[in-house]
């Protein structure tokens, strides 16, 4: 993996890490499903030129669009609106790494070694430590919501690998296309005063919506989609270890969150588990390159 792709992967993770705080600030002005509708409507408008029929792949794009569009983001926005612990939820979201690795093992034939399995177990232990924090336990339903969203995204990653022939922006355009009607139904059924909320957006709210629409969705998800089409899931997913680091720093700086000892220990254990996965992959690839030279 060339150095430029490594830097780009970390850049995507930085965008996603800061996005946790961006979502929380934006959700102070918009209801969660309305926030999702505005986000994906902007994405759809920008990517409209790429919204073209892909013969033989429309069923997969329909499933993907609803899976990681309306369903996954509906849960993410709902969970982020409910939580008071953005940094903790950013750690829970990173369970997509071991979940994706396990799914790749069964559905993509990307086998998990003992090292990867050990890293997955360590990661799960870390998340358990975090969720045993009394304040986090009080938000148990939020943890469940975020975990469910994470599972949906991991399934989506596997599906994206199956339709790697579809261009990145074309995939993102169809995800937005299927997400907009899903969020229209959700916000119309569960929320009210949508026009009033949009008209009352200040510059902070507008900036948050634009950040999550353009940077997080188009650049972030588009960038990750780009990487997943060129490299194995088992090589790209571990970069996500840096997302909660960026999210935690942002939450402390902009939301005034404080970090308990249990949270720090749990975060360290989780990140260590993910680090084990990535370090072993890097070590094996390095040996293979040396042997071939």
The 10s digit of each residue's pLDDT in 226-266 is 887 777 766 776 677 778 778 888 888 888 887 778 778 88
**Coarse DSSP helix, strand, coil percentages of the chain, rounded to the nearest 5 percent:** 85, 0, 15
pLDDT tens-digit map of 276-287 = 776 766 666 667
161, 22, 146, 256: CA torsion to nearest 10? 140
**How far apart (Å, rounded) are the C-alpha atoms in residues 132 and 225?**
34
Region at 113 (left for phi over 0; alpha for psi -120 to 50; beta for the rest): beta
CA neighbor of 18 nearest in space, from 160, 211, 181, 275: 211
The mean pLDDT of 134-155, rounded to a whole number, is 83
- Please state the pTM of the whole predicted model: 0.79
Pick from 2, 270, 293, 284: which is nearest to 121 by CA? 270
Q: What is the pLDDT of residues 182-211, one digit of tens each?
A: 999 999 999 999 999 999 999 999 999 999
């Amino acid at each position: 993996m060339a150095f430029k792709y490594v830097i780009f992967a970390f850049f995507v993770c930085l965008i996603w890490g800061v996005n946790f705080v961006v979502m929380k600030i934006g959700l102070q002005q918009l209801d969660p499903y309305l926030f999702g509708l505005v986000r994906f409507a902007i994405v759809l408008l920008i990517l409209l030129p790429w919204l073209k029929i892909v013969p033989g792949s429309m069923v997969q794009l329909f499933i993907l669009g609803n899976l990681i569009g309306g369903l996954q983001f509906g849960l993410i926005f709902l969970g982020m609106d409910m939580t008071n612990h953005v940094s903790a939820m950013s750690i829970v979201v990173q369970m997509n790494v071991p979940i994706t690795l396990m799914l790749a093992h069964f559905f993509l034939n990307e086998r998990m070694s003992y090292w990867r399995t050990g890293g997955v177990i360590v990661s799960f232990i870390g998340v358990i430590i975090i969720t045993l924090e009394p304040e986090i336990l009080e938000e148990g339903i939020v943890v469940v919501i975020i975990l469910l969203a994470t599972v949906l995204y991991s399934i989506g990653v596997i599906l994206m690998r199956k339709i790697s022939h579809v261009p990145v922006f074309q995939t993102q355009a169809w995800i937005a296309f299927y997400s907009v009607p899903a969020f229209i139904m959700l916000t119309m059924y569960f929320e009210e005063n949508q026009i009033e909320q949009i008209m009352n957006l200040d510059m902070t709210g507008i900036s948050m919506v634009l950040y999550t629409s353009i940077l997080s969705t188009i650049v972030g998800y588009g960038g990750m989609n780009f990487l997943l089409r060129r490299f194995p899931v088992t090589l790209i997913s571990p970069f996500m270890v840096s997302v909660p680091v960026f999210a935690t720093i942002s939450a402390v700086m902009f939301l005034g969150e404080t970090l308990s000892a249990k949270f720090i220990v749990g975060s360290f254990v989780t990140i260590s588990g993910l680090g084990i996965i990535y370090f072993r992959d890097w070590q094996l690839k390095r040996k293979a390159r040396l042997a071939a030279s």
